[in-house]
């Protein structure tokens, strides 16, 4: 795809696109490739935060004592994986990226790259005892920031249908918005609960995982329609 500027008033499938206000539009494939690389590095670094026991004489006990590290690793791995999936959900429907979208995506990647450190802080707090509440609130704030950025990126991209693909209709855009919007509030509730009861708060945040791994019905229907149309049209 060439770098270009969207024309004001251009119409696709009955939807009017407005000019992107921030710079030229660019092919999003490089954005996705770079985002995949950052996510892959972050998710790999998680395991490096698990330190093997030094006392090999009582190795089994040492391995069992590392349960906070295993827990932090598992929860964070699945949450980063969830971010990766939902990032692809967004960019499957984004046809181009302007300067502001690139900035917002960079901020999201900055948060993702920070997650191995956040996971390490959480594991250390549970291993040593003190600081559990602070560590969980810190964890929740970072994830809440990522959830907010997902919403900001998607709402900006779909505003006026300015950066979306021609096959992404309003129903699909709304379906994705409905999935993303509860996340900041959900995480905020879990984070606030961590102040009162750390374990209960962690359970609320962890419950975020299975819900957000579920497919987005409206988005899946859109992908099926696009593939059916492509099969019907045949090769160009």
Tell me, yes or no, whether 2 lies in a domain. Answer: no
Element (H, E) at 162: none
Give, in degrees to the nearest 5, the angle at Cα 21 between 19 and 26. 80
**In the predicted model, is pLDDT for residue 206 greater than 90?**
no
Residue range 151-179, pLDDT digits in tens: 999 999 988 777 898 888 888 899 999 99
Tell me, yes or no, whether 34 lies in a domain. Answer: yes
Q: β-strand 15-16 against 11-12: which pairing, if any? A: antiparallel
Residue 158 belongs to domain spanning: 22-219
**DSSP secondary structure letters along 8-75:** TT-EETTEEPPPPSSS-BB-THHHHHHHHHHHHHHHHHHHHT-PPPS-STTHHHHHHTTHHHHHHHHH
Tell me, yes or no, whether 110 lies in a domain. Answer: yes
Residue range 24-33, pLDDT digits in tens: 677 889 999 9
Report residue 109's pLDDT band, with 50, 70 and 90 as the boundaries: very high
Tell me, yes or no, whether 15 lies in a domain. Answer: no
Tell me, yes or no, whether 235 lies in a domain. Answer: no
Q: How many domains does the chain have?
A: 1
Torsion angle of the four alpha carbons 177, 178, 179, 185, in this order, in degrees rounded to the nearest 10 = 100
Tell me, yes or no, whether 78 lies in a domain. Answer: yes
Tell me, yes or no, whether 236 lies in a domain. Answer: no
Report residue 207's pLDDT band, with 50, 70 and 90 as the boundaries: confident
Residue range 92-108, pLDDT digits in tens: 999 989 999 999 999 99
Tell me, yes or no, whether 9 lies in a domain. Answer: no
pTM for the predicted model, two decimal places: 0.81
């Amino acid at each position: 795809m060439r770098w270009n500027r969207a024309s004001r008033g251009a119409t696709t499938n009955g939807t009017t696109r407005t000019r992107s206000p921030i710079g030229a539009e660019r092919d999003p494939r490089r954005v996705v490739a770079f985002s995949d690389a950052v996510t892959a590095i972050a998710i790999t670094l998680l395991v490096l935060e698990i330190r093997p026991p030094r006392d090999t004489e009582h190795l089994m006990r040492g391995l069992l004592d590392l349960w906070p590290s295993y827990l932090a690793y598992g929860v964070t791995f699945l949450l980063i994986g969830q971010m990766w999936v939902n990032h692809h959900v967004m960019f499957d429907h984004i046809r181009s990226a302007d300067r502001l979208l690139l900035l917002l995506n960079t901020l999201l990647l900055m948060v993702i790259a920070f997650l191995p450190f956040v996971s390490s802080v959480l594991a250390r707090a549970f291993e040593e005892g003190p600081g559990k509440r602070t560590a969980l609130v810190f964890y929740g704030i970072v994830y809440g920031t990522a959830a907010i950025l997902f919403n900001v990126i998607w709402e900006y991209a779909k505003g006026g249908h300015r950066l979306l693909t021609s096959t992404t209709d309003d129903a699909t855009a709304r379906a994705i918005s409905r999935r993303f919007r509860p996340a900041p509030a959900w995480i905020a509730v879990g984070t606030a609960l961590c102040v009162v009861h750390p374990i209960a708060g962690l359970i609320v945040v962890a419950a975020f995982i299975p819900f957000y791994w579920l497919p987005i019905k409206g988005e899946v229907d859109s992908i099926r329609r696009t593939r059916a149309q492509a099969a019907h049209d045949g090769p160009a």
